[in-house]
Structure 1
Amino acid sequence: MLELRGTSCLEMNDFNEPRKRIMTSRSFGRPTSQIYDLQGAIRQHAQRGAEKLREQKSLARAVLVFLKTDRFRPDLPQYSPSLAVEMERPSQDTRDILYAAQEALRKIYRPKYGYKKAGVMLIGLTDENRQQLSLMDTPQTEEERQRSQKLMATMDALNEKMGKGTVRLGLPKKNAPWHLRCANRSPRYTTNWDELMKVYTDEGAARRDKTSTNLYNRQ
Structure 2
Amino acid sequence: MIVLTLPSADSRELVQAVTLGLERIWKPGYRYQKAAVMLADFWPTGTYQPSLFEAHKTKPSSERPMEVMDSINRSGKGRIFLAAEGIRQPWQMKRTFLSPAYTTRISDLPRVT
- Counterpart Cα distance in 1 of 2:50 and 2:5: 12
Paired residue for 2:47?
130
TM-score, reference length from structure 1 = 0.37
Q: Are 1:111 and 2:24 counterparts?
A: no
What stretches of structure 1 move > 6 A for 4+ residues in a row?
Answer: 181-184
- Counterpart Cα distance in 2 of 1:107 and 1:96: 17
Residue 124 of structure 1 and its aligned partner are, at CA, apart by: 1.8
TM-score, reference length from structure 2 = 0.66
Select the structure that is richer in helix: 1
Q: 1:154 aligns with which of 30, 46, 68?
A: 68
- Counterpart Cα distance in 1 of 2:47 and 2:95: 47
1:154 match: secondary structure: helix
Residue 183 of structure 1 and its aligned partner are, at CA, apart by: 9.7
- Counterpart Cα distance in 2 of 1:124 and 1:118: 20
Indicate the structure whose relative CO is greater, using CA pairs within 8 Å and at least 6 residues apart. Answer: 1
Q: Are 1:180 and 2:92 counterparts?
A: yes
Paired residue for 1:87?
4
- Counterpart Cα distance in 2 of 1:130 and 1:181: 36
Write the deviation string for residues 5-41 of structure 1: whole angstroms up to 9, x where unpaired. Answer: xxxxxxxxxxxxxxxxxxxxxxxxxxxxxxxxxxxxx
Residue 92 of structure 1 and its aligned partner are, at CA, apart by: 0.9
Q: Mind listing any 5+ residue stretches in structure 2 that lack a counterpart?
A: 97-103, 106-113
Q: Taking structure 1 as reference, are residues 157 and 134 closer, same or farther at Cα in structure 2, changes over 3 Å only?
A: farther
Q: Taking structure 1 as reference, are residues 162 and 106 closer, same or farther at Cα in structure 2, changes over 3 Å only?
A: same
Greater Rg by CA: 1
Q: Taking structure 1 as reference, are residues 116 and 130 closer, same or farther at Cα in structure 2, changes over 3 Å only?
A: same
Select the structure that is richer in strand: 1
Aligned pair count reads 99
- Counterpart Cα distance in 2 of 1:87 and 1:153: 21
Q: Taking structure 1 as reference, are residues 161 and 112 closer, same or farther at Cα in structure 2, changes over 3 Å only?
A: same
Q: Taking structure 1 as reference, are residues 126 and 114 closer, same or farther at Cα in structure 2, changes over 3 Å only?
A: same
Q: Taking structure 1 as reference, are residues 114 and 173 closer, same or farther at Cα in structure 2, changes over 3 Å only?
A: farther
Q: Mind listing any 5+ residue stretches in structure 1 that lack a counterpart?
A: 1-83, 191-219
User: Which residue identity lines up with residue 158 of structure 1 in the other structure?
Assistant: I
